[in-house]
Amino acid sequence: MIFSPIFLAVALASQVLATSTKSAADDYFSNLIPRTKYALLHETTGPEAGAIPGVVAAVIPDDARPEWNVYWVRDACLVYDVWLNQLVSQGDTSLRPVLDDMVHVLVRSQQITSLAGNVFTGSLGEAVYYLDLDYILDSTARIGSPADDTQPFRAAILIKYADWLLTQNNGTWVADNLWPAINLDLQWISSNWNESSWDLWWPPVWGGSYWTASLQYRALKAGARLGRKIGRPENVVGYDSRASLILDYMQTFWNEKEGYMVETTITDVKLGRSGKGAAPLTVTIYNFDPTLGCDAKTFQPCSDKALSSLKYIANEFRKFFPVSQNIPEGDPAYMGFFLEDQFEGGQPQFFSSFNQAEQLYDALATWHILGHLEVTNVSLAFFQQFNSSIATGTYSASESTYTHLTDAIREWADAVVVLLSKATPADYVLPMSIDKDTGEPFGPRGMIRSLAAASSAHDTRSGMIPPSWASEHNTTAKSGGATYGQAAGQVVLG
């Protein structure tokens, strides 16, 4: 085949641009990640942050912003998840002490009598504590608490650690000491999954939450598997059937007409929500499991619904923030929490913006494992951003179309990282958000959800594959020249 000089020039320019973007992302992460790791381990966690061991403060504690000097279980679990992935998939055993402290904190949090109640009446859903794990009496500081994502997030974190401990011949300790705490949360989920609750964002709304349902599904499925594995099958009777009901419920959030996943059943803008937001994007990150392939029901990162939803919601946020109006069409823009967000002025978020890059890194890893990608009618518009003439069908890794698409998607994800580098403070300590008008850093310094999102995106970009939560057996799947096992994984993305 003979290419024209014009084609070759365009192709060469594109390759140079991609290399430049990758290099800029590499440079940014080389400065950001060491500072981020230090902040998470030493400035927000434990006694060095004025907290008890295992407690992670919502931000680097600041006397000028005392309202943020608290322990949000949800945000802390985002950090715990990053550490667990680094332990299990990267073999970083230096994290073992802080993760042991994590277990004590999470188990203790179940038993604290708070304004939510006691262990029988509501404390399992308490969302926020002081840094010494004492309960908070100020009701305005507890808006959104109790929260029904507390139980499944805590259970899933403990399950992930339990799975690793089993590989270290600690099965008896897991069964006798860790399992009772895990099952306490699972029992609550199994009995209460279909009740309305507060949703993910602040200020929250009361209704059905896609984020919460997804966490509940994962916790019950993974918990049932763990219970059987440690010889407690009698404890998990009914968990799989309840999980199936939750999975069916999760499908009702899909907006087929516009091609995105609605984040809450409260979709009345008069009540402050259209249902358009980033919570489902976070689901794809947290529930990523390549053993599920590109499964749309569990909203895997490479599924046609997750890709379509990413495109739609990203475009909605592009129109929402003034700072994004100067970004060229086709380039990535900032993401926020939800379109009607007015908390702290309603700003773009480091957290959800890093999530959009990570979803694509996860998708690339899965396609690499599978050895192909599929373009469906649902995901067609997403892929057309990178190849306007693309048609529905399956494209093998040996085909040039696959290579061109994955290269372009990888470059786009790196461009998200480069965009965020422009809003990063000079000291590389990420705050909560980005000023929607100026693009400058905004909000409390050292917000752990920002730090966790950056660290997780970096790890996935580097080829880390998290341990499976869905796989029933310790099998290893091989496809497309890559391998994936339940215990750990590493994929070379090129």
d(C-alpha 166, C-alpha 173), whole Å: 9
Range of the domain at 8: 1-43+300-494
Q: Which long-range contacts (CB under 8 A, 24 or more apart) does 396-401 make?
A: 396/371, 396/372, 397/367, 397/368, 397/371, 397/372, 397/480, 397/481
We report the CATH number of the domain holding residue 242 as: 1.50.10.10
In terms of phi and psi (left: phi > 0; alpha: psi -120 to 50; beta: otherwise), the region of 197 is beta
pTM of the shown model? 0.92
CB-CB contact of 165 with 174 (8 Å): yes
Cα–Cα distances in Å, from 289 out to 180, 294, 489?
26, 9, 11
d(C-alpha 65, C-alpha 59), whole Å: 9
**What count of other Cβ atoms lies within 10 Å of the Cβ of residue 133?**
16
Residue 280, in any domain of the structure = no
d(C-alpha 77, C-alpha 153), whole Å: 7
Residue 263, in any domain of the structure = no
The total domain count for the chain is: 2
What's residue 201's pLDDT?
A: 67
Residue 55, in any domain of the structure = no
- 342 and 452 in a single domain? The answer is yes
d(C-alpha 82, C-alpha 361), whole Å: 15
Residue 366, in any domain of the structure = yes
d(C-alpha 366, C-alpha 285), whole Å: 13
Element of type H or E holding 24: helix 5-38
- 238 and 341 in a single domain? The answer is no
What's residue 92's pLDDT?
A: 96
- 27 and 84 in a single domain? The answer is no
CB-CB contact of 209 with 221 (8 Å): no
CA angle, 442 then 322 then 258, to 5°: 110
- 245 and 138 in a single domain? The answer is yes
d(C-alpha 375, C-alpha 386), whole Å: 12
d(C-alpha 158, C-alpha 166), whole Å: 12
Residue 57, in any domain of the structure = no
Q: If you search the block for the tokens 């966790």, which residue do you land on?
A: 452
Tokens for 468, please give them: 């499976």
- 417 and 445 in a single domain? The answer is yes
Residue 82, in any domain of the structure = yes
pLDDT in single tens digits along all 494 residues of the chain: 343 444 334 444 455 556 799 999 999 999 999 999 999 999 999 999 999 999 999 999 998 888 889 999 999 999 999 999 999 999 999 999 999 999 999 999 999 998 888 888 888 989 899 999 999 877 666 666 678 999 999 999 999 999 999 999 999 999 999 999 999 999 999 999 988 777 776 667 778 899 999 999 999 999 999 999 999 999 999 999 999 999 999 999 999 999 999 998 887 767 678 889 999 999 999 999 999 999 999 999 999 999 999 999 999 999 989 999 889 988 999 999 989 888 888 999 999 999 999 999 999 999 999 999 999 999 999 999 999 999 999 999 999 999 999 999 999 999 999 999 999 999 999 999 999 999 999 999 999 999 999 999 999 999 999 999 998 764 333 333 333 333 345 665 54
Residue 34, in any domain of the structure = yes
d(C-alpha 410, C-alpha 360), whole Å: 7
Q: What is the dihedral of CA 105, 444, 324, 19, to 10 degrees?
A: -70
Sign of CA dihedral 456, 44, 333, 214: positive
The residue type of 32 is L
